[in-house]
């Protein structure tokens, strides 16, 4: 039962009491797992192209891009705290009076700390941290090696110093060139000129948290003129926040609604699936989606960006055919041969399992079926070969309705207690690097309402800790998982070099994030 104050709080977030009750029931009843039929592999759900085909698709996209409205959509909200998790632990558990740092590393068997300190001068922020230490710490130049290392981490993370963990990943020092240190935000702007610009204009949309918005705007004002001078491209940058109405309740272990100290209901961010609302507000022909931390230094980005153009070329090629078929269906002049060609296109290019008795449908039923299947948003997703990388991947999935489709499935959606499901996962050859190109308008130029293509059963339930209390948290269907379940999906193999995320600060030491002259 909710009090009047509760109801007022619920309505103030733009949601209804019935929606909150539905969230509570979902949390109580548990999530429904995806039913995997098989892993998608090359030739069975994943397309692999020859070098000539790749170049043809790139050329196809380049020939059309100046006649398209294009945007690059970058999820960039959230603080970078998890990047520094092992360093926070180091500060909590290292006692310089009792042991040296090497003794600490041996005792903890901590390779992350060892790697960090062994390569400390290779981090892009090294000079900035040392400068801060020299300004604020008396006698810093006389510190021992251990004292220097400990003070270095404190200066990085202390809220009264550089406070790196407060900032989002997008605004941290990410790459170091000879003359400057730059952020991931800046690198995304520069990268967009390679594939996501049209008529010398690049549109980018960043989803940010409200507390970081002004920092992004300030950074953009500092760098935009230099970037335009460097590239000849004008940048138009927009921002949005995760909508409050997408936040969800959490339950305690005894299925009670978790409340804050003031007895108000705790509403939590509902994962990246909440960003479907933000994506749905963008009105462009083509939308590239790429995470903020998946970016490389300039010299490596040129070749990687060619694969973005490959995905876009595949998308436009398929979309052109889909639109032609829909226009032909509208004219009602299709014969049996036309229907057969369209059905084969559904099967072999859009990965749709057409009913076995399709040939026996009446003309009216065939037209209705084909129109419904063709007239949907389209996404082309890069897929990378498994090389020990964690994360979700491409699978053939059977829905409750019996429909079979190609989906990106997160591990949290898989019932690993089932040996059959586990076996399918272990046979997977590729994983999802979150590398998408999307078409969100129909053949009449009207924007789809993306909220109509969500599998609401694909929500996640995760265990979190809130002020020391274990809670069950509800996450909306993932942006590229259940939120795009009813899109037409094409998966294309792309090389591992296109996937360069920064999950811990040590990932900045990898070749993709190091300028060779600096190493």
pLDDT at 516: 80
Q: The tokens 């060892």 sit on which residue?
A: 114
Domain definitions of the chain by residue range: 16-76+168-318+380-518, 85-166
State which H helix or E strand residue 396 sits in. strand 393-398
Question: At residue 306, what are phi and psi to the nearest 5 degrees?
Answer: -60, -35
CA distance 462 to 157: 28
The Cα-based distances of 319 to 45, 48, 297, 379, 414 in angstroms read 18, 19, 32, 10, 31
Nearest to 494 by CA among 381, 406, 349, 382: 382
Q: Are 444 and 240 in contact (CB under 8 A)?
A: no
Contacts for 482 with CB less than 8 Å, ≥ 6 apart? 273, 413, 454, 455, 456, 457, 458, 459, 476
CA distance 144 to 177: 29
CA distance 498 to 514: 15
Strands 378-385 and 488-493: parallel
pLDDT at 389: 58
Contacts for 321 with CB less than 8 Å, ≥ 6 apart? 345, 349
CA distance 106 to 96: 14
Long-range CB contact pairs, 347-354, < 8 A, 24+: 349/318, 349/321, 349/490, 350/318, 350/322, 350/374, 350/378, 350/488, 350/489, 350/490, 351/45, 351/405, 351/406, 351/488, 351/489, 351/490, 351/491, 352/405, 352/488, 353/403, 353/404, 353/405
Residues in the chain, how many? Answer: 519
CA distance 180 to 426: 44
pLDDT at 447: 98
Return the sign of the alpha-carbon dihedral for residues 501, 505, 509, 513: positive
How is residue 506 written in tokens?
């040590």
State which H helix or E strand residue 5 sits in. helix 4-12
The Cα-based distances of 51 to 48, 55, 57, 63, 64 in angstroms read 10, 6, 10, 18, 20
Nearest to 116 by CA among 129, 134, 135, 131: 129
Residues of the chain with pLDDT under 70: 388-391, 517-519
State which H helix or E strand residue 324 sits in. helix 298-330
Question: At residue 64, what are phi and psi to the nearest 5 degrees?
Answer: -105, -15
User: Quick check: helix, strand or coil at residue 439?
Assistant: strand
pLDDT at 79: 78
Q: Are 299 and 505 in contact (CB under 8 A)?
A: no
The Cα-based distances of 444 to 155, 319, 333, 451 in angstroms read 56, 12, 19, 19
User: Quick check: helix, strand or coil at residue 371?
Assistant: helix
Instruction: Write the class of the CATH domain 16-76+168-318+380-518.
Output: alpha beta
Q: Are 489 and 377 in contact (CB under 8 A)?
A: no
How is residue 293 written in tokens?
């931390």
CA distance 123 to 67: 41
CA distance 70 to 339: 33
pLDDT at 519: 43
CA distance 492 to 311: 7
CA distance 222 to 224: 6
How many CA atoms within 13 Å lie on the side-chain side of 145?
A: 6
> Quick one: CA torsion of 54, 55, 58, 60, rounded to 10 degrees?
-110
CA distance 13 to 418: 39
Rg of the chain (C-alpha set) = 25
User: Quick check: helix, strand or coil at residue 162?
Assistant: coil
């Amino acid at each position: 039962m909710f009090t009047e104050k509760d109801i007022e709080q619920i309505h103030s977030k733009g949601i209804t009491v019935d929606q909150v009750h539905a969230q509570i029931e979902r949390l109580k009843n548990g999530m429904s797992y995806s039913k995997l039929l098989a892993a998608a592999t090359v030739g069975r759900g994943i397309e692999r192209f020859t070098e000539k085909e790749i170049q043809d698709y790139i050329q196809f996209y380049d020939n059309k891009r100046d006649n398209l409205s294009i945007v690059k959509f970058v999820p960039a909200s959230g603080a970078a705290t998890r990047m520094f998790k092992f360093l926070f632990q180091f500060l909590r558990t290292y006692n310089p009076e009792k042991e040296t740092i090497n003794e600490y590393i041996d005792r903890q068997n901590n390779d992350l700390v060892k790697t960090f300190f062994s390569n400390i001068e290779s981090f892009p922020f090294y000079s900035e941290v040392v400068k801060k230490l020299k300004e604020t710490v008396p006698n810093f130049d006389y510190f021992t090696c251990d004292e220097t290392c400990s003070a270095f981490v404190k200066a990085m993370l202390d809220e009264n110093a550089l406070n790196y963990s407060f900032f989002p990943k997008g605004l941290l020092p990410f790459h170091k060139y000879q003359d400057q240190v730059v952020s991931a935000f800046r690198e995304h702007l520069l990268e967009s000129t390679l594939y996501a610009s049209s008529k010398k204009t690049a549109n980018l949309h960043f989803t940010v948290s409200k507390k970081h918005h002004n920092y992004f705007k300030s950074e953009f004002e500092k760098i935009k003129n230099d970037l335009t001078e460097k590239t000849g491209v004008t940048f138009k940058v927009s921002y949005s926040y995760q909508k409050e109405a997408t936040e969800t309740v959490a339950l305690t272990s005894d299925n009670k609604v978790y409340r804050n100290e003031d007895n108000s209901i705790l509403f939590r961010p509902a994962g990246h699936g909440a960003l479907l609302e933000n994506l749905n507000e963008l009105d462009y022909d083509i939308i590239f989606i790429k995470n903020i931390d998946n970016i490389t230094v300039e010299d490596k980005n040129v070749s990687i960006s060619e694969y973005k153009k490959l995905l876009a070329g595949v998308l436009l090629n398929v979309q052109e055919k889909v639109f032609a078929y829909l226009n032909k269906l509208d004219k009602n002049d299709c014969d049996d041969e036309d229907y057969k060609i369209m059905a084969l296109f559904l099967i072999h290019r859009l990965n749709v399992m057409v009913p076995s008795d399709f040939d026996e449908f009446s003309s009216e039923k065939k037209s209705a079926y084909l129109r419904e299947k063709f007239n949907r948003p389209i996404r082309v997703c890069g897929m990378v070969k498994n090389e020990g990388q964690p994360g979700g991947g491409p699978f053939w999935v059977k829905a409750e309705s019996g429909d079979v489709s190609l989906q990106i499935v997160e591990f949290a959606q898989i019932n690993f207690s089932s040996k059959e499901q586990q076996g399918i996962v272990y046979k997977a050859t590729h994983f999802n690097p979150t590398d998408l190109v999307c078409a969100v308008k129909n053949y009449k130029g009207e924007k789809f309402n993306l909220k109509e293509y969500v599998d609401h059963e694909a929500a996640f339930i995760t265990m979190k800790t809130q002020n020391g209390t274990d809670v069950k948290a509800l996450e909306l269907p993932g942006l590229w998982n259940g939120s795009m379940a009813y899109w037409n999906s094409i998966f294309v193999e792309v090389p591992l070099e296109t996937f360069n995320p920064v999950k811990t600060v040590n990932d900045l030491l990898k070749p993709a994030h190091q300028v060779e002259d600096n190493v």
